[in-house]
């Protein structure tokens, strides 16, 4: 009997499921806390909790993660330098301060406009190599000729030893600015994805598991691990994509909306007749528009570990993730005493980082470029949680909350605070960790809000459900302003939203939110069996999907009968006659699809390839097409019985 293993590493939990290949049924599942900065310990723990007899017969491992998405949502990604070659637009800002504009670039036919300024690139690379973790390179019209990007990449990698990403590898669409941003975000995620994949491989090797390793992409399809390491941006929404595919798999529904409540965020998406609803535009990540095909999704930075804090008797939720008080008390031996003895700050001092329930601990990441003040503060934060009051005493001076903010963004410290997970502990609806720590935290914040602890926790729970409802409705009612939806949700009108599709809830204690959600929305709300590990199930349920787009056009409209250019991913070729160009382009497209499927462990009758050809010619044009667009589409599916 053979089994497949699905693993999903979220911001809080790492989940695993074992699926029997013979009938597609879940044979075993487990959850463990995600570990930072190295996820290996969490991965080991989650697999240790699975039946060892099944582990001997694993033939496929498929993984997904929200670690990369959370990195960008929380604004604490690794530093990246961006090199822009050629005539790039300047009207928009770029997501990094390390930017070089270098000479070079090509025109729409892939012909060089000006020589590549390698000297400037070398000088820039050497000047920033100690300040960044990776490089992103985007050359003008690199989709028509990637030569300058490739030369720059090879030069940088040789000089610095750091990874470098080319824009043409990620998108064949035109749009220089979005392609630059896509390359930047991809480079920012390489260290995180490498760490995650290395951890998976290390654990499989140690256990003697010899299985094919796949990763879920953000459109719900799978990708070979080699491609995932080169293009982690394509897996940026693999966690939400896994929840979508997993919700369909677990509920048996081919059409549904999905609300996936994680530790850091809540993701809303939908599937129609078994096909994920994809975005017409590129994925938008942390406000940056990319050229990555992804599921259409509404994300709110509200999750089980969102920071609950108060200022002027106002209740705030997120956007940052913190370690729940209940979890901290279980992990740190003396934390309960620290929580009890920490004085409540003056009301006028309260802010996101100054709360009677906010603490800080070293994360384990190595410090890079930090200021003198940051170094002083970091020096007094150790392996046991400390409050702002403790930090002030140890540095013997006042502390600016922005310093803590900066250290959190640089991943050097981990914040601990009250969360919706703590509220559920106080209400007795989810009690996996230390209930006393949650209760003490609720008492402290409730006092500032002039509520009872029970009233306070009920308010937190209702706020979470309202946020879930708002974003679910915003997703379904595209184009309707948030304010209009909020007025109905808040009871300003004698009306209630009724949904025409079932809503599947996934995530840890999602059953606790079902009742509140039903108060806001009239819908069939389903919590399937194994909902707590839905993403791990989804990691296994993804199909192999590969789209290859190839463009054919005459090199010159002055001689449209001969000399044709073929623009394919990563290559540019020239042919004398149109039929030869078309035949080579078709075979190349099929080969790229087949190679991709082999990486996914799919071949033969498991793969279906379709070819769509669109031509453009003006009226009365008596020559080969002025433009031919080939779309070679491959869909691969592992055969599961039952």
Cα distance between residue 187 and residue 151, in whole Å: 17
Residue at 97 is within a domain: no
Residue at 88 is within a domain: no
Say if residues 513 and 464 touch (Cβ distance below 8 Å).
yes
Question: How crowded is the C-beta side of 29, counted as CA atoms within 13 Å?
Answer: 19
Nearest-5° angle of CA 100, CA 106, CA 112? 110
Question: How crowded is the C-beta side of 85, counted as CA atoms within 13 Å?
Answer: 36
This prediction's pTM? 0.69
Residue at 594 is within a domain: yes
554-563: per-residue pLDDT in tens?
988 888 888 9
Structure tokens at 596: 């991709």
Exposure b/e, 580-614, CB count within 10 A at least 16 = b: ebbebbeebbeebbbebbebbbbeeeebebeeeee
Cα distance between residue 611 and residue 596, in whole Å: 16
Q: What is the DSSP string of 106-169?
A: B-TTS-BSS---HHHHHHHHHHHTTT-SEEEEEETTTTT--HHHHHHHHHHHHHH---EEEGGG
Tally of domains in the chain: 2
Tell whether 298 and 268 lie within a shared domain: yes
CATH number of the domain encompassing residue 332: 3.30.420
Tell whether 332 and 429 lie within a shared domain: yes
Cis status, amide bond into 224, omega within 30 of 0: no
Residues of the chain with pLDDT under 50: 174, 286, 640-642
Tell whether 449 and 424 lie within a shared domain: yes
pLDDT score at 549: 87
Residue at 131 is within a domain: no
Tell whether 483 and 585 lie within a shared domain: no
Cis status, amide bond into 517, omega within 30 of 0: no
Burial class (CB in 10 A: 0-12, 13-18, 19+), 573: middle
Residue at 33 is within a domain: no
Tell whether 333 and 299 lie within a shared domain: yes
pLDDT score at 491: 80
pLDDT score at 290: 55
Residue at 610 is within a domain: yes
Residue at 167 is within a domain: no
Cα distance between residue 476 and residue 521, in whole Å: 12
pLDDT score at 172: 54
Sign, Cα dihedral of 93, 97, 101, 102: negative
Sign, Cα dihedral of 551, 556, 560, 565: negative
> Phi-psi region for residue 623, left (φ > 0), alpha (ψ -120 to 50) or beta?
beta
Say if residues 278 and 294 touch (Cβ distance below 8 Å).
yes
Tell whether 527 and 627 lie within a shared domain: no
pLDDT score at 94: 64
Q: What is the greatest pairwise CA distance in the chain?
A: 86
**332-341 LR contacts (CB < 8 Å, sep 24+):** 332/361, 332/384, 332/385, 334/384, 335/359, 335/384, 335/385, 335/416, 335/437, 336/434, 336/436, 336/437, 336/440, 338/384, 338/385, 338/386, 338/387, 339/437, 339/440, 339/441, 340/440
pLDDT score at 408: 87
Tell whether 337 and 463 lie within a shared domain: yes
Tell whether 517 and 557 lie within a shared domain: no
Cα distance between residue 624 and residue 620, in whole Å: 12
Tell whether 497 and 549 lie within a shared domain: no
Tell whether 259 and 335 lie within a shared domain: yes
Residue at 584 is within a domain: yes
Last residue of a domain, one of 515, 540, 565: 540
Segments forming the whole domain that contains residue 275: 244-357+418-540
Angle between helices 420-427 and 435-449 (to 10 degrees): 100
Say if residues 537 and 26 touch (Cβ distance below 8 Å).
yes
Tell whether 493 and 564 lie within a shared domain: no
Tell whether 626 and 492 lie within a shared domain: no
Give the contacts of 195 (CB within 8 A, at least 6 positions apart): 37, 38, 39
């Amino acid at each position: 009997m053979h089994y497949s293993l699905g693993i999903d590493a979220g911001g809080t939990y790492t989940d695993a499921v074992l699926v029997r290949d013979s009938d597609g049924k879940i044979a075993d599942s487990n959850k463990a806390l995600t570990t930072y900065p190295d996820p290996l310990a969490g991965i080991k723990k989650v697999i240790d909790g699975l039946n060892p007899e099944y582990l001997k017969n694993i033939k496929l491992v498929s993984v997904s993660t929200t670690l990369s998405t959370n990195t960008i949502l929380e604004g604490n990604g690794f530093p990246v330098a961006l090199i822009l070659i050629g005539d790039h637009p300047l009207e928009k800002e770029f997501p990094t301060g390390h930017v070089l504009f270098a000479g070079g670039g090509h025109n729409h036919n892939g012909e060089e406009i000006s020589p590549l300024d390698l000297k400037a690139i070398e000088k820039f690379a050497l000047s920033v190599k100690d300040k960044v973790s990776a490089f992103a390179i985007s050359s003008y019209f690199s989709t028509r000729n990637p030569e300058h990007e490739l030369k720059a990449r090879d030069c940088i990698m040789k000089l610095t030893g750091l990874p470098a990403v080319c824009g043409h590898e990620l998108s064949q669409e035109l749009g220089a600015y979005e392609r630059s941003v896509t390359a930047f975000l991809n480079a920012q995620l390489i260290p995180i994805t490498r760490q995650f994949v290395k951890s998976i491989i290390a654990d499989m090797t140690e256990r003697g598991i010899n299985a094919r390793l796949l990763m879920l992409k953000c459109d719900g399809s799978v990708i070979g691990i080699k491609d995932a390491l080169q293009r982690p941006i394509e897996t940026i929404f693999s966690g939400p994509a896994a929840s979508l595919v997993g919700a369909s798999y677990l509920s048996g529904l081919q059409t549904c909306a999905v609300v996936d409540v994680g530790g850091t965020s809540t993701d809303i998406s939908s599937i129609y007749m078994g096909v994920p609803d994809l975005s017409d535009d590129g994925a938008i990540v942390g406000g940056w528009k990319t050229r990555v095909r992804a599921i259409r999704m509404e994300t709110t930075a509200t999750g089980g570990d969102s920071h609950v804090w108060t200022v002027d008797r106002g209740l705030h939720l997120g956007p940052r993730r913190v370690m729940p008080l209940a979890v901290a008390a279980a992990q740190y031996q003396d934390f309960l005493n620290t929580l009890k003895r920490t004085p409540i700050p003056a009301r006028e001092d309260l802010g996101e980082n100054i709360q009677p329930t906010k603490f800080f601990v070293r994360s384990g990441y190595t410090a890079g470029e930090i200021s003198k003040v940051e170094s002083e503060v970091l020096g007094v934060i150790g392996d046991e949680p400390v409050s702002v009051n403790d930090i002030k005493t140890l540095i013997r001076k006042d502390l600016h909350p922005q310093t803590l903010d900066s250290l959190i963004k640089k991943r050097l410290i981990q914040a601990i605070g009250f969360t919706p997970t703590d509220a559920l502990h106080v209400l007795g609806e989810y009690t996996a960790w230390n209930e006393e720590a949650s209760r003490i935290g609720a008492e402290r914040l409730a006092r500032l809000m002039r509520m009872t602890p029970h009233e306070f926790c009920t308010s937190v729970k209702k706020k979470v459900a309202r946020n879930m409802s708002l974003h679910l409705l915003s997703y379904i009612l595209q184009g309707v302003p948030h304010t209009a939806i909020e007025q109905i949700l808040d009871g300003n009108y004698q009306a209630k939203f009724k949904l025409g599709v079932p809503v599947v809830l996934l995530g840890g204690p999602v059953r606790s939110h079902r009742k509140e959600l039903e108060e806001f929305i009239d819908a069939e709300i389903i919590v399937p069996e194994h909902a707590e590990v839905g993403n791990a199930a989804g990691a296994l349920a993804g199909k192999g999907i590969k789209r290859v787009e190839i463009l054919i056009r005459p090199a010159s409209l002055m001689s449209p009968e001969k000399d044709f250019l073929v623009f394919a991913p990563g290559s540019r070729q020239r042919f004398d006659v149109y039929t030869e160009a078309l035949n080579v382009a078709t075979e190349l497209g099929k080969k790229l699809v087949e190679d991709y499927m082999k990486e996914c462990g799919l071949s033969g009758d498991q793969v279906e390839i379709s070819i769509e050809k669109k031509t453009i010619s003006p009226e009365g044009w008596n020559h080969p097409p002025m433009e031919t667009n080939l779309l070679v589409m491959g869909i691969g599916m592992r055969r599961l019985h039952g």
